[in-house]
Amino acid sequence: TVVNNDGATVTLKDFPGVKIILAVLSVDTGVCDTEMRRFNEEAAKLGNVKVLVMSMDLPFTQKRWCGAAGVENVITLSDHRYASFGENYGVLIKDMRLHARAVFVVDSSDTVTYVEYVPEVATLPDFEKALAAAKAAK
């Protein structure tokens, strides 16, 4: 359960089909900015694959960042209220109340088919492996 940019509560079921889910530290960090811009470009080429970006940022912060960055092909979602995404996907850094960097590919039956937990938050994920997994998911 997370919050969208309009403040509404949503779940995985609100996003049918194949999904790439990014767990990022904050939209206002350089590495996260680079990652989200790259996935935004790739999302335009992926057809029906949705790219969901999860962070602990407030929804209005995510919306502001997307507008300023011209990012329109990814969906930013906030875990700030419940932290349920972070807890359920194993990315919550509890003492900092932030997410560790990770990438998940979820198929249309909501089964996780690919996982990359990036060992260092200042490191980018393996874009090619994540994109290949998303293209292979059904």
Contacts of 67 (CB under 8 A, 6+ apart): none
3-state DSSP of 82-94:
CCHHHHHCCCEEC
Catalytic residue among 18, 32, 106, 137: 32
130: Cα within 13 Å, side-chain hemisphere: 25
| 66 tagged catalytic | no
Residues annotated catalytic, as ranges: 32
